[in-house]
Homo-oligomer: A and B are copies of this chain.
Amino acid sequence: MRSAPNRSYKSAPILENNGKEDVTSLLVKRFQDMLRDGLLRQGSRLPPERDLAAHFNVARSSLRQALKVLEVMGVITQKVGDGSYLNTDTSAVLAVPMEFLFLLDDTSVGELTELRLLIEPGLARLAAERATAGDIALLRQSIRDFESSGGDNLKIVSSDLLFHRAIFQASKNGPATSVFHSIHRAMAKMILVTSQLVDLEHTLAFHKPIMQAIERRDGDRAARLMAEHLTDATALLTREQEHQHQRLLQDRIARERRPLLRGKTASSGKN
Contact = CB atoms under 8 A, between A and B. Distances in A.
Interface string A237-271: 00000000000000011011010110011111000
A266 B54 contact: yes
A170 interface: no
A57 B261 CA distance: 12
A195 interface: no
Chain copies in complex:
2
B114 A173 contact: yes
B72 A105 contact: no
Contacts of A96: 28, 73, 97
Contacts of A208: none
Please provide the 3 A-B residue pairs with the shortest distance between their CB atoms, ordered closest to farther.
A54-B267, A38-B252, A118-B122
26 contacts: A13-B265, A24-B68, A37-B252, A37-B255, A38-B252, A38-B256, A39-B260, A47-B261, A55-B261, A68-B69, A69-B69, A73-B96, A75-B104, A90-B104, A90-B105, A93-B101, A94-B94, A105-B174, A105-B178, A107-B174, A111-B174, A112-B175, A118-B122, A118-B126, A118-B173, A179-B183
